[in-house]
Each structure stands twice: as C-alpha cells, then as structure tokens.
C-alpha cells in the first residue's frame, strides 16, 4: 500500500512541477520574448529542454522521498507520459497566446496541428541569454523538435537514477534519513587511515578526529531508517583542484555499523545535524 501511495504521490508531485515549469517557460516567452525551452548550447545541445526536464522531475523526487516510494517501472512510465504532456502544454500555450499583428490570435486562423507544423518549420533558436541572438533553422526545426523530448526525458532520467541510488531499508520499505554529517580535511594518508577501518567503530571515529595534511576532504554522514533505526554511514571523498573541491565517486562507500554509532557521531565536536534530512539519504 505504501509503495502504491508513494508512486501516486511521486507522479502527482511531478505533474505539479511540470505544470509550473510549462507556465514559467510560457511566461518567459510571452513577456520577455525569451524561449528558454528552445535554448541551445553550441547549437547541438538542447540545454533548455534538459534543464526543464530536471526541474520538472523534482516533484517526482520530493513525492517519492516523502512517501517512501522506490523508483519503479510505473513511475518511469508516468514520467514519460508527463514529459510528453509538458511539451504539449508548452506548444499549446504558445498557440493559445500568440497574437498576430492584426490583433487576431493563432487560434483564430489555423488549427493546432497546422500551427505546430508552421511553428517548427519557422523556428528561431536562442544561442545565448535573452532573446537577442538566435538562428533561423527552417526545416531543421522538425529534427530539433524531435530531439527536445529526448533531452527533456534525459533530465528526468537523471532524477530517476538519483532516486534509485538513495539508501533504502528493504525490511521496512523506507528511505534512510540523514541525521548528522561531518567533513574532515587532510592528506591522502589520513583518508586511507580512516578508510582502512571497514566498519564504523570507536577506532574509526578516533582516526576521523586526527586529520593531518591537506589536499583532500572526507565527508561522512550518518543515516537512519525512520522505522527500525538501522544505521548507515556514508563516505564521500573529494580533492582540491584549482581551488575547488572535486568529487571522487569511485571512493564513495556505505558502511553498516555492527553496533549503534549515533552517540559517537553526536560526540564529534564539529558534527552537524542535517537540514531537510527527509530528502537526503
């Protein structure tokens, strides 16, 4: 029952954010003459469609996490359907609001599908900020319009994959909630010394509190199942490059403590309680 309700909640959240994104795209196009949805990068990447897809799918993520729904086939199919609906609404909204020089609207002159055919064949794609610079693509607009739904879905697929990777308690059917997090900077030797402890223990937390050197950062967080209180310790390693921290995803790992470690985590002087832990695992 929880999975079904969570899936429905995730789809409902996705529908709401998709409608909001469609409304924002239409408002930008109508009032600022800036078609964000058709924004291109290097004239080959439909960045506007991809970003809109990610933003639209944020509702899926929030709904699924709030109601503990796994990313499943039903949700994937629903995301595809809602993505199609969103693009349709963007085109239909343009059709319904486009006003011709003589005061008539496009709806007064042609039917929707004729409008889409003309619209796509006479499209001008933005290449930068605002509506100043663009390129008239002619019949190539049909090809680009065919790629946009794929980019829109790719944006949503990123959210779907992130949701799939979230820590989940199979026994209780609940997502783990992040409780505390701490970051330590040090050398590669320091990171190796901590990671040599294969199970969170007093020795693990002792090594964590003895950072030496620089150049790397170890982010450690504690998550719990909200039902059975099972704990999970997650590690993320980063290194400094050109004054910016870069992640090393291959070194990320999750550890299951043999004994409860919440009290040890709380005793760390710089451990911070995670805000919005319900949305993060």
The DSSP secondary structure of 70-111, one letter per residue, reads ---HHHHHHHHHHHHHHHHHHHHHHHHH-B-TTS-BHHHHS-
Minimum mean pLDDT range among 113-122, 135-144, 147-156, 189-198: 135-144
Give which of 43, 37, 29 is closest to 148, Cα–Cα: 37
pLDDT of residue 187: 95
Q: Give pLDDT, residue 222.
A: 95
Rounded to an integer, what distance in angstroms lies between the CA atom of residue 112 and that of residue 91? 9
Alpha helices in the chain (DSSP H): 2-31, 47-66, 73-97, 106-109, 112-121, 140-165, 188-195, 202-208, 262-267
Q: How many CB atoms lie within 10 A of CB 153?
A: 21
pLDDT for 132 equals: 45
pLDDT of residue 276: 63
Given a contact cutoff of 8 angstroms between Cβ atoms, the answer to whether 281 and 166 are in contact is yes
Band (247; pLDDT cuts 50, 70, 90)? very high
Residue 253, pLDDT above cutoff 70: yes
Q: How many Å separate Cα 79 from the centre of its chain? A: 13
State the average pLDDT over residues 111-120.
81
What pLDDT was estimated at residue 97? Answer: 83
Is 131's pLDDT higher than 60? no
**Which percentage of the chain shows pLDDT scores above 90?**
28
Quote the pTM value: 0.74
Question: What letter does residue 259 receive in the DSSP assignment?
Answer: S
Per domain, the residue ranges of the chain are 2-165, 174-279
Residue 181 burial by Cβ neighbours in a 10 Å radius (0-12, 13-18, 19+): buried
Choice among 10-14, 114-118, 164-168, 183-187 with the minimum mean pLDDT: 114-118
Predicted pLDDT at 40: 65
Quick one: what percent of the chain has pLDDT higher than 70? 83
- The overall average pLDDT reported for the chain is 82
Q: Nearest to residue 162, comparing CAs of 258, 75, 229?
A: 75
130: pLDDT strictly greater than 50: no
Question: What's phi and psi for 22, nearest 5 deg?
Answer: -60, -40
pLDDT band at 185, cuts 50/70/90?
very high
CB 63 within 8 A of CB 69: yes
Digit-coded pLDDT (tens) for 167-181 = 999 898 899 999 999
The Cα diameter of the chain in Å comes to 79
Query: Does 160 score more than 90 pLDDT?
Result: no
């Amino acid at each position: 029952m929880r999975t079904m309700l969570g899936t429905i909640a995730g789809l409902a959240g996705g529908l709401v954010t998709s409608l909001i994104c469609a409304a924002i795209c239409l408002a930008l196009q109508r009032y600022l003459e800036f078609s964000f949805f058709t924004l291109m990068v290097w004239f080959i990447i439909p960045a506007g469609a991809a970003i809109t897809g990610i933003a639209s799918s944020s509702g899926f993520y929030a709904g699924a996490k709030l109601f503990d729904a796994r990313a499943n086939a039903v949700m994937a199919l629903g995301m595809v359907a809602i993505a199609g609906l969103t693009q349709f609404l963007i085109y239909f909204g343009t059709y319904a609001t486009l006003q011709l020089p003589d005061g008539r609207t496009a709806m007064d002159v042609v039917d929707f599908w004729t409008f889409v055919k003309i619209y796509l064949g006479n499209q001008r794609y933005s290449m930068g900020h605002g509506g100043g610079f663009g390129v008239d693509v002619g019949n190539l607009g049909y090809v680009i319009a065919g790629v946009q739904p794929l980019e829109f879905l790719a944006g949503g697929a990123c959210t779907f994959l992130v949701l799939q990777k979230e820590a989940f308690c199979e026994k209780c059917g609940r997502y783990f909630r992040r409780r505390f997090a701490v970051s330590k900077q040090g050398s590669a030797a320091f990171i190796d010394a901590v990671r040599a402890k294969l199970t969170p223990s007093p020795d693990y937390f002792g090594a964590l509190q003895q950072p030496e050197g620089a150049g790397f950062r170890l982010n450690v967080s504690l998550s719990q199942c909200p039902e059975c209180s099972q704990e999970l310790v997650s590690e993320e390693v980063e290194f400094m490059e050109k004054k910016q921290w870069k992640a090393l995803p291959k070194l990320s790992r999750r550890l299951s403590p043999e004994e409860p470690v919440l009290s040890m985590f709380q005793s760390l002087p710089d451990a911070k309680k995670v805000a919005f832990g319900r949305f993060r695992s």
